[in-house]
Structure 1
Amino acid sequence: MKPFAIAGIQMKVSAIVPNVEMMKLKINITMNLYPWVEMIVFSELSPYGPLIKTAQAIPNHFETEMQALAKKYGIWLLPGSVFENREGAIYNTATVINPQGEVVKRYSKMFPFYPYEVGVTPGSEYCVFDVPDVGRFGVSICYDMWFPETVRTLALMGAEVILHPTLTGTIDREIELSIVRAMAAVNQCFFFDVNGLDTGGSGGSIVCGPDGRVLYEAGGNEEIFPLELNIERVRRSRELGVLHLGQPLKSFRDHIGQFTIYQPGTDLTYLNSLGPLIKPERVERLAELKLEEYKMEIPQAPTF
Structure 2
Amino acid sequence: MTVFTLAGLQLELTPHQDNFELIRSEVLALKKRFPNLGMVLLSELCTFGPAPRFAEALPGPAEDRYAELAAEAELYLITGSLFERDRDRIYNTASAIDPQGQVIARYRKIYPFLPYEEGVSSGEEFVLFDVPGAGRFGLSICYDMWFPETTRALVWQGAEVILHPTLTNTVDRDVELAITRASAASHQCYMVDINGAGRMAVGRSIVAGPGGEVIHQAGAQHEAIVVDIDFDYLRRVRRTGWHHLGQPLKSFRDNAVQFPQYQGGRSEVLESLGPLIKGSKVNWSD
TM-score (norm 2): 0.97
* CA–CA distance in structure 1, aligned partners of residues 266 and 78 of structure 2: 40
Aligned to 2:70: 70
Per the alignment, residue 210 of structure 1 pairs with 210
Are residues 1:278 and 2:271 paired?
no
- The Cα RMSD (Å) is 1.4
The alpha carbon displacement at 1:51 in A equals 1.5
SS at match of 1:105: strand
Displacement of 1:15 in angstroms is 1.7
Q: Which amino acid aligns with 2:258?
A: Q
Displacement of 1:207 after TM fit? Answer: 0.2
- Paired position in structure 2 for 1:157: 157
**Segment of structure 1 superposing worse, 78-87 or 169-178:** 78-87
8 Å CA contact 1:105–1:129 kept in 2: the answer is yes
Shift, 1:48, TM fit: 0.8
Contact 1:50 1:199 in 2 (8 A): no
Amino acid aligned to 1:34: F
SS of alignment partner, residue 93 of structure 1: strand
The residue number in structure 1 matching 2:180 is 180
1:40 alignment counterpart: 40
Paired residue for 1:290? Answer: none
Corresponding residue for 1:229?
229
The offset of 1:258, in angstroms, is 1.7
Superposition pairs for residues 86-165 of structure 1, below 5 Å?
A: 86-165=86-165
Equivalent residue letter for 2:270: L
CA–CA separation in structure 1 for the residues paired with 2:115 and 2:181 = 26
Structure 1 length as normaliser, TM-score? 0.91
Residue 257 of structure 1, CA deviation: 4.6
Residue 200 (structure 1) shift: 2.8
Q: Answer yes or no: is the 8 Å Cα contact 1:44–1:200 preserved in 2.
A: no
> How far apart, in 2, do the equivalents of 1:269 and 1:209 lie?
37
Report the number of matched residues: 286
Kindly tell me: are residues 69 and 13 of structure 1, through their superposed partners in 2, closer, same or farther at Cα, counting changes over 3 Å?
Answer: same
Bigger radius of gyration among the two: 1
Distance 2:132 2:170 in 1: 37
Residue in structure 1 matched with residue 251 of structure 2 by the alignment: 251
Distance 2:144 2:126 in 1: 11
Structure 1 counterpart of 2:169:
169
SS in 1 for 2:255: helix
> What's the CA shift string for 1:193-212, capped at 9, x where partnerless?
10001343100000000000
Classify 1:274/1:286 alpha carbon distance in 2 versus 1 (closer, same or farther; 3 Å). farther
Name the aligned partner's letter for residue 109 of structure 1. K
Separation in 2, partners of 1:137, 1:267: 33
1:284 partner SS = coil
Instruction: Provide the identity percentage.
Output: 47
Asked whether the equivalents of residues 49 and 199 of structure 1 are also in contact (C-alpha less than 8 Å), the reply is no
Per-residue CA deviations over 1:174-219 (Å, capped at 9, x if unaligned) read 0000000000000000110100013431000000000000000010
Contact 2:67 2:103 in 1 (8 A): yes
Aligned mates of 2:11, 2:256 — CA distance in 1: 41
- Give the superposition deviation at 1:285: 8.9
Q: Return the alpha-carbon distance in structure 2 between the equivalents of residues 228 and 115 of structure 1.
A: 37
Per-residue deviation, residues 200-239 of structure 1 (Å, max 9, x unmatched): 3100000000000000001011011111111112111111
- Residue type matched to 2:125 in 1? E
Cα distance in 2, alignment partners of residues 17 and 243 from structure 1 = 47
Q: Contact 2:16/2:50 (CA < 8 Å) preserved in 1? A: no
1:269 aligns with 2:242: no
Alpha-carbon distance change, 252 to 286 in structure 1, aligned in 2, over 3 angstroms: farther
In the TM superposition, structure 1's runs of 4+ consecutive aligned residues that sit over 3 Å from their partners are none
Q: Does the C-alpha gap of structure 1 residues 253 and 170 become closer, same or farther in structure 2, counting only changes over 3 Å? A: same
